[in-house]
Amino acid sequence: MKIEPLSIVGAFKITPKKISDSRGAFSRLVCADVFGQHGLNTNWVQMNTSQNSEKGTVRGLHYQRPPHVEIKLVRCVRGKVFDVFVDLRKGSSSFGTACSLTLDSDAFEMVYIPQGCAHGFQTLTDDVELHYLHSEFYTPEYESGIQLNDPALDINWPLQFTVISEKDETHPMMNRIEPIIL
């Protein structure tokens, strides 16, 4: 398993070892020993899936406010996405920074997103499915978001938005939110 730091403090791209043979492929995606050796969370309380039919669909940028901030481990299990997260942690050296990468189901890669970050994605193919592991339970009254196309974040979305929820269209700009204090 390869664990590479990303531009946001505490974020990592994780590439599991893929073993292929005539039957197909096998990978160990989560291992408490390996994660623990790298100081990563090993206690997951919830797993969610997101299914998206149309290329260009966007979701995000979502996060939970304290005391329900969460760590996420995200993997694209079908299709391909442009995955984005933004550091909202007050005092973090990467505060206000957006980080993006492509997650492709064929590559088996995952992204580990630390507490205090907003997360979103855009589908690059039709029929996309993502799986998320969460360190905290979803708590609707602590749910928040940031505007997907906030100029301050300088996110270069690869496609026109084709599908977006009304809720995601109305999130505030980054300069209107309270930084997260952990």
Q: Which of 107, 86, 104, 84 is nearest to 95 (CA)?
A: 86
Q: Which of 118, 112, 94, 100 is nearest to 177 (CA)?
A: 118
Q: Which of 157, 168, 180 is nearest to 50 (CA)?
A: 168
71 touches 41 (CB < 8 A): yes
Class of domain 2-16+26-176: mainly beta
Active-site residues, by number, are: 62, 132
What span, in angstroms and rounded, lies between the C-alpha atoms of 116 and 69? 6
* Entry pTM: 0.95
Structure tokens at 30: 């989560």
Question: What's the pLDDT score for residue 182?
Answer: 84
Question: What's the pLDDT score for residue 153?
Answer: 96
Q: Which of 153, 150, 116, 162 is nearest to 135 (CA)?
A: 116
What span, in angstroms and rounded, lies between the C-alpha atoms of 154 and 65? 23
Q: Which of 164, 139, 136, 144 is nearest to 88 (CA)?
A: 144
135 touches 61 (CB < 8 A): no
pLDDT tens, the chain, 182 aa long? 999 999 999 999 999 999 999 999 898 899 999 999 999 998 999 999 999 999 999 999 999 999 999 999 999 999 999 999 999 999 999 999 999 999 999 998 999 999 999 999 999 999 999 999 999 999 999 999 999 999 999 999 999 999 999 999 999 999 999 999 98
CA 132 centroid distance within chain = 8
The enclosing H or E element of 36 equals helix 32-37
- Cα–Cα distances (Å) from 10 to 37, 60, 72, 126, 165, in that order, read 14, 20, 11, 31, 29
